[in-house]
Amino acid sequence: MELQIHNWKWKPKPDYGRLVRTLRRQGDSDHVPFLELFADPEVFAGALGASLIPDDVQIYDRDALRAALDQRIAFWYQLGYDAFWVGPLLDFPELLRLEAQDTAILSRGKRVWVDEKGGAITNWQGFEQYPWPRASDADYFPLEYAARHLPEGMAIIGQVGNGVLETVMWLMGYKSFAVALYDQPDLVEAMFRKVEEIFLPIAQTVTQMERVVAIWLADDMGYKSGPLISPGHLRKYVFPIQKKIAVIAHEHGMPFLLHSCGNLEAVMEDLIEDIQIDSKHSFEDVIQPVEVFFARYGQRISIIGGVDMDLLARGSEGQVRKRTRQILHCCGYSGCYLLGSGNTPANYVPLTNYFAMLDEGQRFNAGLSS
C-alpha cells in the first residue's frame, strides 16, 4: 500500500483558536477547519506505515498506549487537524459482544459489536451484582500524555464516557432495554442515575485538564427514520444528564459538541434549546444531507462533517472530490462548518478517498479551483 501520508503536500499549520471560533459560529469565512470524532487504529497504522496497535491492547499496556497516542498525534497533525478527541480510560466490564469476520480493506481480523438482544444487566439482581466502575477509577493518562506531546497550535477535545444512552443500552442490550422502559422503569431510572454518578465527575475533571478546549459527547440516539427510543423517554432519562454535561462545559468556557447517528429531527429543538449543544456531528445522505441540515440549523449551531460514509467507502476518488466540493461551496463560507466524514474514517474507507476529501478541503482553504 502506498504510504500516502508521507507524500502529503500540505504543510500543517494548527490553530485551535480558529477551530474553537468555528465551533462557536465565529469562524473565518475563508477557512474551514477539519474535525473527526476518531479514526480506526488500522487507519492510523496504514496511513503512517506503522505497526497496528489494537484498541484492547492499549487499555492494559502503557507502552502500547504511548505508541498509539504518538500515532494519533502524528496522524492528525500531518493531515492538518487542529485538535482531536481524547478521553480517560474507564472500563465497563462484561459487555456481551458478538463477532464476525472483518472484510474491511484494512481488516482487523474480526469485527466486534455489542449484543442487541441481551446484556449484563436485565433485572435488579444483575444491577446489584454488576461490578460498576467508579468515577475515581478513570485513568486520565491519555489526556495528560497528549497534552505534553501535542505540537504547538494543537489542542484536545475532551471525551466523557461512551454516551449516556449508549452506556445503558449496551449494558442492558437494546431489546431488553426497550422492554424495561415499560416493564421495569425503576430499573431504567437506576441505570441512568448510575451513569450520571460516573460521568459528571469525569466531565468536571476533563474540562479542567491542560490543552482541553471543548467537550464532545458521542451518544448514538437514532436510526434511519427516528430516535431509538421515544422522545418522551429521551426527555425523561437521557437529556437531563446530557444537559448537565453541557452545563459543565459551558461553565468552563468550552463549546459542547454532540455526535449522534440517526434521524433526530423529532428532538432537534430539545438538543439546541434545552441541552444547548453548540455543534452537531454525524450525517447520512439517506437521512438528511448535511446541506439540508445546514440550511435549517446553521444559523443556530455549528456543523461537523457530512461527507457520506457510503460514498467514502464505495465511491470513486472523483466522486468523493465532487461531493466534498459541493458541501464546501454550500457550507464552507459560513464560519460555522467543519469538514469531515459523515461519521469516522473507518477501516473500510480507502485511504485514497479519505485523503481526497481532505485535499479538497485544503484546496478550498488555499483558494484553489480544481
SS3 letters across 161-199: CCCHHHHHHHHHCHHHHHHHHHHCHHHHHHHHHHHHHHH
| CATH architecture, range 4-366 | Alpha-Beta Barrel (3.20)
Give pLDDT, residue 368: 53
**Strand bridging mode 212-218 / 155-159:** parallel
Q: What is the mean pLDDT of the chain?
A: 95
Chain centroid to CA 157 = 10
Residues 319-362: pLDDT tens digits? 999 999 999 999 999 999 999 999 999 999 999 999 999 999 99
pLDDT band at 95 (very low <50, low <70, confident <90, very high): confident
Give pLDDT, residue 4: 61
| DSSP summary character for residue 137 | G
What's the rounded mean pLDDT across residues 72-94?
95
* Boundaries of every domain in the chain: 4-366
The neighbour count for residue 296, using CB atoms within 10 Å, is 12
| DSSP summary character for residue 207 | H
What's the rounded mean pLDDT across residues 8-15?
94
